Structure 1
Amino acid sequence: MNTKILSVTGKETELIVKVCEYVEILYWGCIINTKSEGAEYSLSRPIPYGRLDTDIPMTLHPELGRGLFSSPALEGHRNGKGWAPVFQTTNVKQGRKELTIYSEDKAAGLQLVTELRLDEFDVIKLRHKLINTADGIYSVNRLANTLPLPERANELLTYYGRWVNEFQQTRMRLTQGGYQQENRRGRTSHEHYPALIAGTQYFNETHGDVWGFHLAWSGNHRMRVDVKADGRRFMQAEAIYLPGEVALEKGDSIATPWLYATHSECGLNKMSQHFHQHVRSNILNNRLTKKARPIHLNTWEGIYFDHNPEYIMDMATESAKMGVERFIIDDGWFKGRCGDKAGLGDWYLDKSKYTKGLEGVIEHVNALGMEFGLWFEPEMINKDSDLYRSHPDWLLAMDNYEQPTGRNQYAIDLQNEDAFNYLFERLDYFLSKYNISYIKWDMNREIVQPGHDGYAAGHKQVEMYYRLVDKLTAKHPDVEIESCAAGGGRIDFEVLKRTHRFWASDNNDALERQQIQRGMSYFFPPEVMGSHIGAKHCHCTRRTHDINFRGLTALFGHMGIELDPVKESETEKQGFMKYIQLHKQLRPLLHSGDAIRLSTDDDAHLAHAVIATAQDKAVVLVAQLSMPTNSLSSTLRIPGLNKDKLYSISLLDYPENFHDIVNLQPLWTKEPVVASGEWLKKAGIAMPILDPESAILIGLKEA
């Protein structure tokens, strides 16, 4: 095939792609407006001694058979043969912002279709589809997406975590060797969220070249960044296939999950804005713009498994008084469910608790002006259930092994059509019979030995989960779904295509939530992040926080409440009402503006803001995580505003003892001060002195 140099451009980003017998990205960065013919030759590499005698490209599909001695994109074989394929490009179709590349290895009997898209928000989507074109089975061990990184990308930001401590971040230098994380827990996982960020050394929220990556897959995955011996770098992301899991008959195919990526020359905030805009327009498809995001009350931390319909209706009454717009009954409503050791799978109303049925509760909730939601955990089963006693073969398991339980439960084999149909029928029954507008869809355990008919089935289990949700939403398109997996264990772009909200963490501790929500904010806009005001005494950490800190922390997401409003004091109820009303007032801005994270001079502070797209107003949260390092708290600089506009700065909310803990707080906290956007970016405002574990809310509006 003749060599072609193709350009794919977004709003600010350009990909320059070399297409010949292979496809290689020569350049990925800001748009180059002035190019001369043949300029690509300036990037031709030298060939050193002591190596292969020809230049070996870093292609979109790296191949050992071509002489690239790094992680290949494909590992597989046909009964021991065809194990080192070398694909030759046969055709390229170019759209305005996309390339579709067709390649073939006739000797191995394989075809490869590569889709590369760059949207109007500068987000890349990449995936490969492998097709077996020859007789016999081709076994696939690995199939990965690969993107190059420039040599100046020498620092990584990666994620780690656990239950009630999701989205934690860490940094590492990238000089030699590389980085790899693997998740084999059967879901997206709390431990290894499938994303990472590479950048120039010391990149931060506003400075440095950064490249962000997210793999849209809800199961086992691998993320890696390698530095080759010659200094070149690349990023690779893939679903992990268990042994024997992918065996392609002639004509069969397997596709990688979509890899999403973007570049910013202005640090992490710009990267996040690319992802947020893409999510809003191209993943959510503006599904959340039809109405304001309803404020929740979820019953879990209020009553757990202790369900009394009359009392639940009292909870709903108190919730409505405070301004709640959606009332959700959590775990404990179905047959045999008095704790977490029994009942899962028996999706029938517990008539010993709900003696008069569910209709009266729902009608009461609706009469109060609230939507009604219900909790399900469809993929799971307790052995102490009628379902298991009738269908023990429905377990996702391997015969002759006893796998460990997780929260006293097991997973259902969704590849079993009878099991799949039963779950759909039960979900469909409730959504058809009752006025249910919302499902909290939970998944509380990790997957061990996912077996179907004795074969590994981890990958297929995830695909069948997608199919179950898709089938349900096709029949009930107006029902919204929350993705919860013991909190933040199943959060990714592929889930978001079929749901509306994530439960970021089971941890409602406002102090812990500050870091959890910050980590999540790099890839997701506020309106999809469930963020609740919990009880004063946190159930997860046993910490106590006042309503100011809890309320302001929950403000910057999809807000809700997680407690028993009947038992709360009038003072607490007034506090809930205050922050519910504040959220409603700011909700149009919070759920449409540009979310940015602010750099602070003291790690004891955490600050972030949402700026209206018209740059006429903004809100800023400053959280004091711990004792200030110094007696004064420096200045807060606020980028992102129109440098030529004047803004009135005022204090919208603050702790009860705000003016009592110092001789004098900054003057702007007592009366509005006017400053330009340029002043706020470069000079900033003096930070007040705050007690640990407290927060303030700053308002900015065009003067």
Structure 2
Amino acid sequence: MMKSERERNPPSMIHYNKSSRQFHLQTKASSYVLQILETGHLAHLYFGKKIRHRNDFENFIDQKKISYGSTTSYNRLIDGFSLQHELLEYSSYGKGDYRNPSISLLSNDGNRTFDFIYQSHQIFTGKKELDGLPSSYAYESEDVQSLELILEDKCYELRLILSYSIFHDKDVISRSVSLQNRGKQVLIIDKISSFSLDFDKPDFDLVTLDGSWIRERFSHRRALNYGMTEISSRRGVSGSDHNPFILLCDSNASEISGNAYGFALIYSGNHSSSVEVNTHDKTRIQMGINDFDFSWKLNENEIFQSPEALLVFSDKGINGISSMYHRFIRFNIVRGPWQFKERPILFNNWEATYFKFNEKKLLSLAKEAKALGMELFVLDDGWFGKREDDHSSLGDWTVNLKKLPGGLKGLGDKIKKTGLDFGIWVEPEMISIESELYKQHPEWMIQCPMREPSPARNQFILDLANPLVCEYICESMKSLFSSADISYVKWDMNRNFSDIYSHSLKPEQQKEFSHRYVLGLYGILKELTEQFPHILFESCASGGNRFDLAMFCFMPQIWTSDNTDAMERLHIQSGSSLFAPTSVMGAHVSAVPNHQVLRNTPIESRFNTAAFGLLGYELDLSKITNFEKKVIKKQIAFYKEHRKLLQFGTFYRIKAPSDRGTSLWMIVSEDQKDAILGYYQQLAQPNPPSERYLLEGLNPDMLYEVQNRTQFMDIRQFGDLINQALPVSINTEGILHSKIAENYLYELEKTEFKAFGDQLMFRGFVPKQQFYGTGLDDHCAFLGDFGSRLFILRAVED
């Protein structure tokens, strides 16, 4: 087969100018330039919009040669040279740079000053895997080139390797660091950042994803000021408080314009992301393992590998950053048979039954789910040991035969006969004190000697720093996953770390525990996902407490949040979408009043929010009305028709959610011929102003037919106003009204028109006038509180 021109001449991504000792890293749309200084330190020259390659990037470095009055010079030979005022690629403590160091070490002779100087480099095609850690990979035959910069501290025979991989077409640069002890000294690592990056400007806005349980990843934006801003986790997991993703942008940057930089860490444990602006208006960004309660003993000839971080630049605003991460996660993070496979519509029994179920109840729910068009039945918590509540049995992965007389196989076979696939919930990292496992191995539980351990959700954590525990989890899960026809596994982790102590580690190694736990988890997940490639694994950690790129390397989707309220999910899913595509976000329709916020939201809005994710239902199907059953059936049919677009299209945030106003999402097919616009309203306003919204991602030359998804409303939402539309008056509190409401599908207004893409993007989309006290008819949209619409755009012939 003839090779294409691109295969014969792949793009040059890494240039080295030998005379100027400069490296120029290029993606399709960005450049990254660094230089070896005369002292051997690495200076960062530029990261931003792609620039043409030159043999010497003159005038990129501050040329000051006269030292400041209180400056510490690096040495006596170069007058005026101070590391404090250089833009450095990686920095250590003790030689005059007083900013936050990238690495902090302690030798066994008490020395804390280290100095890493360039020795050599290598450039090669492809990308190496990281030892023991998940990382990105080159998809099929795409063009990836890597650079390794080898630095040394000769006093202590330490080798520091800065690794860069350039994903040309994805506009992504990955960075990681490894440290090798080549000397006789025992070394303690107190801090090792996955990357450090200096800018010579201070005026950035910082965007972070912050929150807590059931309000994860709300987006927050603020201007930077002097000093250091840090977001981190000390919980043992990546956490719902602060996600290991940050974004820097110009103060005038919007969703669609302006310079923006994204930084994401591929790690699931304690992490730290810091941004420091010093008083000489330089900005330093660092990201990596949190150095709080961390140290690592590095013996002779041992290597420590940091997690990988992904850096992206866009001059097309924050949505530009998101699009790069979305594509990269789909192609270069998620892997295996489910990478591009459309995900099934599932039913989960948790909010329908909690712990109170038996086989008869489960089969009844499964039959209802199948009748409505669902494809997968998921058995949640409570099926094992003596699990009647959350106080017992974690660690005992044997079936409760009182609830399920035929075991998992018996139930699974019956579920399969209804026409649904079968999935289960597990929480393998946990242990209950009331369990057979604890009786046999109390030393496997994380707990401090001589202290009463602190519970969370009435449970405790197994010591994954102990290889015996990891082996037990692997073997018990292999036996479980092989015991029935299981096609889906929800892997949960419902608490944060406390009482941190491992009985398998020496006293001087206890600060290694949190990282060793994460490495143990990765080893388990790698073994299980490789042995059961057909299983669709979904990660869960009290909802979104471990929503990070490392988990996506093993599990192609994550339960986004335990909060299933549609209006709260607008904030949660919008924030998550800063880096995560819809193809990884689990999103369910649940009952009202919602179990997390007691809000009553129309069932159509619950679906319209969940549709921008991996659709599932989590409510008691035996208790819903005929109206709801009919509507759900139509929702599922719509989702199946547009599933590929909703799961794998290009996502845009048109208008961010607010407490009172409207928000808009949009998703567009790769060929730009199909799109869906989601329109969501928080609270209805009296006499609101007219609306017009500029859409994104369309082909300006294509003609689009725009139609709303046919939606229905429970007529009880009208109250007494229903009598204005009926020929006879009925009692809205009576039986007749109730019977009509339970069975009648009141169809909402229709929208249908044609417009070219340029009109919709540059002049805008105008929704129908809303009802605000008068004139309710077919030309008026009645949304009310928490109302929403989906609009379908299809390219048609002119």
Same fold (TM over 0.5): yes
Secondary structure of 1:237's match? Answer: strand
* Letter of the structure 2 residue corresponding to residue 229 of structure 1: T
| Deviation of 1:307 (Å) | 2.4
Closer, same or farther: CA 302–157 of 1 in aligned 2, 3 Å:
same
RMSD between superposed Cα atoms in Å: 2.3
* Letter of the structure 2 residue corresponding to residue 407 of structure 1: R
Structure-1 separation of matches of 2:635 and 2:166: 40
1:652 aligns with 2:652: no
Count of matched residue pairs = 698
* Letter of the structure 2 residue corresponding to residue 5 of structure 1: Q
Match of 2:41 in 1: 22
1:86 aligns with 2:115: yes
C-alpha offsets along residues 492-531 of structure 1, whole Å, 9 cap, x if unaligned? 1111101121001001111101100100011111011000
1:71 aligns with 2:100: yes
| Deviation of 1:462 (Å) | 1.0
Q: Are the aligned partners of 1:45 and 1:55 in contact in 2 as well (CA < 8 Å)?
A: no
Match of 2:623 in 1: 567
1:109 aligns with 2:126: no
Structure-2 separation of matches of 1:599 and 1:388: 51
Structure-1 separation of matches of 2:188 and 2:61: 37
Secondary structure of 1:61's match? Answer: coil
Structural mapping, 1:426-505, within 5 Å: 426-453=476-503, 454=507, 455-456=510-511, 457-505=513-561
Match of 1:61 in 2: 90
- State which of 310, 319, 327 in structure 1 corresponds to 2:369: 319
| Deviation of 1:574 (Å) | 1.6
1:353 aligns with 2:403: yes
Secondary structure of 2:174's match? Answer: strand
Closer, same or farther: CA 236–685 of 1 in aligned 2, 3 Å:
same
Structural mapping, 1:321-400, within 5 Å: 321-400=371-450
| Deviation of 1:117 (Å) | 1.5
Name the stretch that deviates more: 453-462 or 145-154.
Answer: 145-154
C-alpha offsets along residues 323-357 of structure 1, whole Å, 9 cap, x if unaligned? 11111100000011000011111111112222222
Q: Are the aligned partners of 2:330 and 2:340 in contact in 1 as well (CA < 8 Å)?
A: no
* Letter of the structure 1 residue corresponding to residue 27 of structure 2: G
* Letter of the structure 2 residue corresponding to residue 570 of structure 1: N
Closer, same or farther: CA 285–379 of 1 in aligned 2, 3 Å:
closer
Structure-1 separation of matches of 2:63 and 2:647: 47
Match of 2:759 in 1: 679
Q: Are the aligned partners of 2:202 and 2:283 in contact in 1 as well (CA < 8 Å)?
A: no
| Deviation of 1:656 (Å) | 2.7
* Letter of the structure 2 residue corresponding to residue 17 of structure 1: L
Q: Are the aligned partners of 1:147 and 1:234 in contact in 2 as well (CA < 8 Å)?
A: yes
| Deviation of 1:250 (Å) | 0.7
C-alpha offsets along residues 12-71 of structure 1, whole Å, 9 cap, x if unaligned? 1111222352333311111113x5543333444435632341153322211234422201
Name the stretch that deviates more: 274-283 or 357-366.
Answer: 357-366
Closer, same or farther: CA 385–228 of 1 in aligned 2, 3 Å:
same
Structure-2 separation of matches of 1:594 and 1:584: 18
Name the stretch that deviates more: 45-54 or 182-191.
Answer: 45-54
* Letter of the structure 1 residue corresponding to residue 398 of structure 2: Y
1:38 aligns with 2:56: yes
C-alpha offsets along residues 241-278 of structure 1, whole Å, 9 cap, x if unaligned? 45464111111121211111211101111111100111
Match of 1:577 in 2: 633
1:141 aligns with 2:194: no
C-alpha offsets along residues 301-326 of structure 1, whole Å, 9 cap, x if unaligned? 11111120122111111111111111
Unaligned runs of 5+ in 2: 1-17, 74-79, 126-144, 725-747, 771-782
Q: Are the aligned partners of 1:284 and 1:500 in contact in 2 as well (CA < 8 Å)?
A: yes
Closer, same or farther: CA 212–565 of 1 in aligned 2, 3 Å:
same
Match of 2:174 in 1: 125
Structure-1 separation of matches of 2:609 and 2:294: 46
| Deviation of 1:431 (Å) | 1.3
Closer, same or farther: CA 285–429 of 1 in aligned 2, 3 Å:
closer
Structure-1 separation of matches of 2:259 and 2:569: 28
Structural mapping, 1:167-316, within 5 Å: 167-241=217-291, 243=293, 245-285=295-335, 287-289=337-339, 291-316=341-366
| Deviation of 1:148 (Å) | 2.8
1:4 aligns with 2:16: no
* Letter of the structure 1 residue corresponding to residue 147 of structure 2: L
Secondary structure of 2:367's match? Answer: helix
Structure-1 separation of matches of 2:90 and 2:111: 16
C-alpha offsets along residues 578-626 of structure 1, whole Å, 9 cap, x if unaligned? 2111111111111222101003798611101001111112110010022
C-alpha offsets along residues 228-249 of structure 1, whole Å, 9 cap, x if unaligned? 2211112111112454641111
| Deviation of 1:95 (Å) | 3.5
Structure-1 separation of matches of 2:404 and 2:578: 43
Secondary structure of 1:431's match? Answer: helix
Secondary structure of 1:41's match? Answer: coil
Q: Percent of aligned pairs with the same residue?
A: 29
Q: Are the aligned partners of 1:655 and 1:695 in contact in 2 as well (CA < 8 Å)?
A: no
Q: Are the aligned partners of 1:152 and 1:200 in contact in 2 as well (CA < 8 Å)?
A: no
Q: Are the aligned partners of 2:390 and 2:457 in contact in 1 as well (CA < 8 Å)?
A: yes
| Deviation of 1:83 (Å) | 1.4
Q: Are the aligned partners of 2:200 and 2:281 in contact in 1 as well (CA < 8 Å)?
A: no
Q: Are the aligned partners of 1:442 and 1:486 in contact in 2 as well (CA < 8 Å)?
A: yes
Q: Are the aligned partners of 1:46 and 1:55 in contact in 2 as well (CA < 8 Å)?
A: no
Closer, same or farther: CA 100–576 of 1 in aligned 2, 3 Å:
same
Structure-2 separation of matches of 1:141 and 1:633: 58
Closer, same or farther: CA 475–677 of 1 in aligned 2, 3 Å:
same
| Deviation of 1:555 (Å) | 0.4
Structure-1 separation of matches of 2:336 and 2:166: 19
Q: Are the aligned partners of 2:370 and 2:419 in contact in 1 as well (CA < 8 Å)?
A: yes
Q: Are the aligned partners of 2:655 and 2:662 in contact in 1 as well (CA < 8 Å)?
A: no
Q: Are the aligned partners of 1:323 and 1:581 in contact in 2 as well (CA < 8 Å)?
A: yes
Q: Are the aligned partners of 2:611 and 2:639 in contact in 1 as well (CA < 8 Å)?
A: yes
Name the stretch that deviates more: 351-360 or 248-257.
Answer: 351-360
Q: What is the TM-score of this pair, normalised by structure 2?
A: 0.84
Structure-1 separation of matches of 2:657 and 2:242: 29
Closer, same or farther: CA 421–42 of 1 in aligned 2, 3 Å:
closer
Q: Greater Rg, structure 1 or structure 2?
A: 2
Match of 1:701 in 2: 794
| Deviation of 1:150 (Å) | 5.0
Secondary structure of 2:243's match? Answer: coil
Structure-2 separation of matches of 1:446 and 1:504: 17
Structure-1 separation of matches of 2:299 and 2:189: 11
Structure-1 separation of matches of 2:793 and 2:215: 32
